[in-house]
Structure 1
Amino acid sequence: MLVDAHAHLLPRDYPAGSPACFPRMEPIDGDTARLLLFGNTRFRAREVFFDAERRVEAMDASGVTAEVLTPMPPLLRYDLPPADGLSLARHVNDFTATLCATAPDRLIGFGLVPMQDPDAATAELKAMREMGLIGVEIASNILGASIGEERFLPFFAEAERLNMPIFVHALPAPTGRLPRAATGTYVVGLEGTIAAASLITGGTAAKCPGLRVSFSHAAGGFPLIVPRAQYFWSGTWNEEPPIPDRALAWHDGPSPLEYARRFYYDSMVFDRRALRFLIDLLGHDRLLVGSDFPAMEREHPADRTLRSLGLPAPVLADITWHNAYRYLGIDPPAALGP
């Protein structure tokens, strides 16, 4: 079995009479694809983005048993007026639930919420759960604000209470320090780092110990910088026993690395050496397969690089599917086999 825990969808259409700030999906002459128009976004969406039959065919071709489907990041538009953001979320969530209901063992839906209004976002989680959505996708920042800020804590606490996992997708924050060409590359690494660090330093990880959070692209540079936070906390190198008198930021409670090992990270780091580092530092039980499909093409088969590491069979099975169902908080369908 193999579960792709980072895959995307787009609704095929938006209802007539939608607010002017809503996306549009326009037909393309002579093509089954549709054109997403949303602000500055112009994106050709292949049929696989919104057609369940095409998705299952693509999964079979790549050796994927099940997908965790989240809305394409351009739909995480926290700059919309809160009421419009809620309307957009409800339309996308309804489409996601309907799409996933066509193959519930293979398509696992996550919804979105209007994080620009934390109270509305929190209130919407229960309705999402009741319509069959397993989890929720949020961006790595909310209009430039860190997700670890105190005002977002009730949202995370409610997700924990409802047993809903959260997928944090890196999105650029307002900055002029890097060119726009770096948005899809280096900015992803910066955003993942800040998002994961903010959940620790802002206290969310401590206050919501049962919360299950995964990060796109292995939280960017976070795995490389968290050992520095560990040194400041412990006063020692190599995760040796702490020496509080030497530490620069000693406090009682879990260490930075212990908090980091509560999170999940997708495997979309593009290099077997990076995967080995993640396994060594964070543990194989923290990794999920991710592909960004169909926005990006999968490897064929989807676990090609993972298999090239020569991992023991139980470790490979954890990364390719056991960890995903632990993160999701659901049992794997018996009908899909081992």
Structure 2
Amino acid sequence: MLVDTHAHLLPKDYPADAPECFPKMEPIDGDTARTLLFGNTRFKARDVFFEGERRVEAMAESGVDAEAVSPMPPLLRYDLPAADGLSLARHVNEFTATLCSHDPAKLLGLGMVPMQDVDAATKELSAVKDAGLKGVEIASNVLGVSVGDERFLPFFQEVQRLDLAVFVHAMPAPIDRLPASGIGTYVVGIEGALAAASMILGGTAAKCPDLRISFSHAAGGFPLMLPRAQYFWSGVWNEEPPVPERAFAYEEGPSPLDYARRFYYDSMVFDRRALRYVIDLLGHDRILVGSDFPAMPREDPAARTLNSLGLPADALADITHRNAYRFLGIGEG
């Protein structure tokens, strides 16, 4: 059993009377694909993005049994006026629910909400749940503010109350210390780390202990930051028992690693050595399979690197499917 928790969709169309700031999906002559036009984004989207039958066929071809499908990240445009952002979210969520209705056991939907208006995003969560979606995808920052900032706490508290899941997708933020060529690589890794760290440092992890939240690409550089944070909290190396008098930041309660092990992380780190480290540090009960399909091709076969690690059967079962169902809050299979 294999569940891909990092897979994306795009609506096939948008309403003819939609605001000018909405995306457009232009047909391509002689092709089943369409071109997404949205701000500076111009992207050729194959029909697998928006056709349920093609989606399930592609899953079968790569040995995937189910997908958690979420909006393509360019749709998470928090710079839109709040009312337009809410209208866009509702359209995308309606399409997501329709796409998933093609095969509800195989297509498990995550919606979106207008995080530029925290009150509106929080209120919209009930509609997301009523539509049968399993949770929401959000960007790692909202107009440059990391998601662990206290202003977003009411949103996460409502997510927890409604028993929904949150998938945090790393998204570039303005940065002037790296060239633009690093936006899709290094900056995304930095953004994932900032988002995860902010959930701990901003207090959300402490105040929402039952929140089910996952981070794309294993939260970028976050797993390598954690041992240093753990040392400053504990005063010792190698996660040995803390020595408070030697620590710089010790306080009673969970450690940085304790908090981090409440989160989920997808396996899309591109190297077996990195994946083994993430599993060793955070636990096999915290890792999810992810591919970014169909924006990026899956490994052939899917999860090839994961399967090459020689993990015990129980650990492998956790990562390939059990954790996904726990994260999504649904019964297995």
TM-score scaled to structure 1, two decimals? 0.98
**1:72 corresponds to 2:72:** yes
Shift of 1:289: 0.2
In 2, the alpha carbon distance for the partners of 1:286 and 1:131 equals 27
In the other structure, the counterpart of 2:101 is 101
Q: What does 1:123-134 align with in structure 2 at a 5 Å threshold?
A: 123-134=123-134
Shift of 1:146: 1.2
In the other structure, the counterpart of 1:326 is 326
In the other structure, the counterpart of 1:336 is none
Shift of 1:88: 0.2
In the other structure, the counterpart of 2:235 is 235
Report the AA paired with residue 191 of structure 2. E
Shift of 1:308: 0.7
Deviation digits for residues 214-245 of structure 1 (CA, Å, limit 9, x no counterpart)? 00000000000011110010011000110111
Shift of 1:44: 0.2
Report the AA paired with residue 22 of structure 1. F
Report the AA paired with residue 261 of structure 2. R
Report the AA paired with residue 58 of structure 1. A
Q: What does 1:213-228 align with in structure 2 at a 5 Å threshold?
A: 213-228=213-228
Deviation digits for residues 176-195 of structure 1 (CA, Å, limit 9, x no counterpart)? 22122111111111001000
TM-score scaled to structure 2, two decimals? 0.99
Report the AA paired with residue 123 of structure 2. A
Shift of 1:312: 1.2
In the other structure, the counterpart of 2:89 is 89
In 1, the alpha carbon distance for the partners of 2:150 and 2:161 equals 17
In the other structure, the counterpart of 2:314 is 314
In the other structure, the counterpart of 1:33 is 33
Shift of 1:29: 1.0
Report the AA paired with residue 88 of structure 1. L
Deviation digits for residues 155-187 of structure 1 (CA, Å, limit 9, x no counterpart)? 000000011010000000111221221111111
In 2, the alpha carbon distance for the partners of 1:184 and 1:107 equals 27
Report the AA paired with residue 215 of structure 1. F
In 1, the alpha carbon distance for the partners of 2:176 and 2:76 equals 21
In 2, the alpha carbon distance for the partners of 1:243 and 1:208 equals 27
Q: What does 1:176-325 align with in structure 2 at a 5 Å threshold?
A: 176-325=176-325
Give the length in aligned residue pairs. Answer: 333
Report the AA paired with residue 131 of structure 1. A
Shift of 1:314: 1.2
> Root-mean-square deviation (CA), in Å?
0.6
Aligned-partner SS, 2:279:
helix
Deviation digits for residues 286-338 of structure 1 (CA, Å, limit 9, x no counterpart)? 000000000000011112111111111111111000110011110023xxxxx
In the other structure, the counterpart of 1:111 is 111
In 2, the alpha carbon distance for the partners of 1:214 and 1:20 equals 33
Report the AA paired with residue 233 of structure 1. W
In the other structure, the counterpart of 1:167 is 167
Aligned-partner SS, 2:108:
strand
**1:18 corresponds to 2:21:** no
Structure 2 unaligned residues grouped into runs of 5+: none
Report the AA paired with residue 78 of structure 1. Y
Shift of 1:279: 1.1
Aligned-partner SS, 2:184:
coil
In 2, the alpha carbon distance for the partners of 1:289 and 1:149 equals 28
Report the AA paired with residue 169 of structure 1. H
In the other structure, the counterpart of 1:45 is 45
Shift of 1:54: 0.6
Report the AA paired with residue 158 of structure 1. E
Sequence identity (%): 74
List structure 1 segments (4+ residues) > 2 angstroms apart after TM superposition. none
Aligned-partner SS, 2:4:
strand
